[in-house]
């Protein structure tokens, strides 16, 4: 089967099920083999710009032709049987409506599978759906069982904690946005309290004063699309805000930078890695320290 995946999480799912896609999105970089595949789309936003500049570019693109464009010539050449796309966020990846229009215009005989993940259960269901679509039902069942076992292990360990610290996960810095979708659920499973957003809700801009008033005991900066290095370049958007140094998380040395691009904002199998990382930030005495390419203390980045 010839499969095209148009978001990084779908690419990771397909590879995890033992299927090699013939085409991917411009952001697909895991596993490393995905980088060698033809890109079927392009972004109208410069991903290397500052967080504020990217926000302005996204707003302008949404008023024009959208953030992403399909490379119709490449898509036609690949002639896929299945295209996996998403319906969660038209800023994060190609929207399913754009894909459907391209398929119709090109006259392709391809099924379009739209993933819409807002929780861990949604992720597990998506893995089953992809497995069924590519004829790997058993492999999908094994993968989901393994992921569920790891989630249960985190919950069991976190239940031993004596505290449930207030946590804030920021998935954008300028403007400040508090992570929604699967993030509130994962923080709670990791043994923390997430009081700034409801589970499953969309991420949205917030006033900085709301974060100050909430006064998180654990603060995680994980901008969407940014790895640790790019967050480092933009960290002043956060650290120079009034009252930042007075936050309990900052005073106690419990403010962190996490790789948002590969973990927090990517709704693939590695969300369970993210859960384990969050558990370590909530309860470092109970969980192993995350790898430094995924999580670093914000103080070291700031320095």
Is the pLDDT assigned to residue 89 strictly greater than 80?
no
Give the model confidence (pLDDT) of 16-28 as tens digits: 999 999 999 988 9
Say which CATH superfamily domain 1-115 falls into.
Nitrogenase molybdenum iron protein domain (3.40.50.1980)
Average pLDDT over residues 226-247: 95
Confidence of residue 91 (pLDDT cuts 50, 70, 90): very low
Same fold, 1-115 and 161-298: yes
Per DSSP, the residues of the chain read --EEE-SHHHHHHHHHTT---SBB-TT--SSGGGGGSPB-EEESS-TTS-HHHHHHHHHHHHHTT-SEEE-HHHHHHH--SEEEEESS-TTTS-BHHHHHHHHHHHT---EEEEE--SSHHHHHHHHHHHHHHTT-HHHHHHHHHHHHHHHHHHHHHHTT-S---BEEEEEEETTEEE--TTHHHHHHHTT-B--SS-TTPPPEE--HHHHHHH--SEEEE--TT--HHHHHHHTHHHHTSTTGGGSHHHHTT-EEEE-IIIIIT--STTHHHHHHHHHHHH-TTTSPPPPTTTEEEHHHHH-
Is the pLDDT assigned to residue 296 strictly greater than 60?
yes
Mean pLDDT across the chain: 90
Model pLDDT, residue 128: 98
Is the pLDDT assigned to residue 9 strictly greater than 60?
yes
At CB < 8 A and 24+ separation, what contacts does 270-277 make?
270/12, 270/30, 271/120, 271/123, 271/182, 271/186, 272/120, 272/147, 272/150, 272/151, 274/186, 275/120, 275/150, 275/151, 275/154, 275/186, 275/189, 275/190, 276/150, 276/154
Lowest mean pLDDT, pick from 130-139, 195-204, 250-259, 277-286: 195-204
CATH of 161-298, one of 3.30.2130.30, 3.20.20.70, 3.40.50.1980, 3.30.70.1450: 3.40.50.1980
Is the pLDDT assigned to residue 54 strictly greater than 70?
no
Confidence of residue 75 (pLDDT cuts 50, 70, 90): very high
Confidence of residue 68 (pLDDT cuts 50, 70, 90): low
Q: Which residue from 293, 271, 7 is spatially nearest to 150, judged by alpha carbons?
A: 271
Confidence of residue 142 (pLDDT cuts 50, 70, 90): very high
Give the model confidence (pLDDT) of 156-190 as tens digits: 999 999 999 999 999 999 999 999 999 999 999 99
Other Cβ atoms less than 10 A from the Cβ of 208: the count is: 14
The domain spans of the chain are 1-115, 161-298
Is the pLDDT assigned to residue 36 strictly greater than 70?
yes
């Amino acid at each position: 089967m010839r499969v095209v995946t148009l978001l990084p999480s779908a690419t990771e799912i397909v590879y995890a099920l033992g299927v090699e896609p013939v085409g991917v999105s411009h952001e697909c970089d895991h596993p490393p083999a995905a980088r060698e595949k033809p890109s079927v789309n392009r972004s109208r936003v410069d991903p290397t710009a500052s967080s504020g500049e990217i926000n302005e570019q996204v707003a302008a693109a949404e008023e024009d032709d959208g953030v992403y464009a399909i490379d119709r010539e490449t898509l036609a050449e690949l002639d896929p049987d299945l295209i996996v796309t998403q319906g969660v966020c038209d800023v994060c990846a190609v929207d399913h409506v754009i894909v459907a229009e391209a398929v119709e215009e090109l006259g392709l005989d391809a099924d379009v599978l739209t993933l819409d993940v807002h929780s861990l259960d949604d992720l597990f269901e998506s893995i089953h759906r992809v497995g069924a679509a590519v004829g790997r039902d058993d492999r999908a069942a094994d993968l989901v069982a393994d992921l569920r076992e790891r989630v249960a292990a985190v919950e069991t360990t976190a239940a031993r904690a004596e505290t449930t610290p207030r946590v804030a996960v920021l998935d954008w810095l300028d403007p400040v946005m508090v992570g929604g979708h699967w993030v509130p659920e994962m923080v709670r499973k990791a043994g923390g309290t997430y009081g700034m957003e409801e589970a499953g809700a969309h991420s949205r801009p917030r006033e900085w004063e709301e974060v100050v008033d909430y006064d998180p005991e654990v603060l995680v900066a994980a901008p969407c699309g940014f790895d640790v290095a790019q967050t480092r370049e933009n960290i002043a958007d956060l650290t120079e805000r009034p009252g930042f140094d007075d936050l309990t998380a900052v005073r106690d040395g419990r403010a962190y930078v996490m790789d948002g691009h590969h973990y927090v904002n990517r709704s693939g199998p590695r969300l369970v890695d993210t859960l384990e990382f969050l558990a370590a930030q909530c309860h470092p005495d109970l969980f192993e320290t995350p790898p430094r390419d995924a999580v670093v203390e914000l103080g070291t980045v700031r320095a």
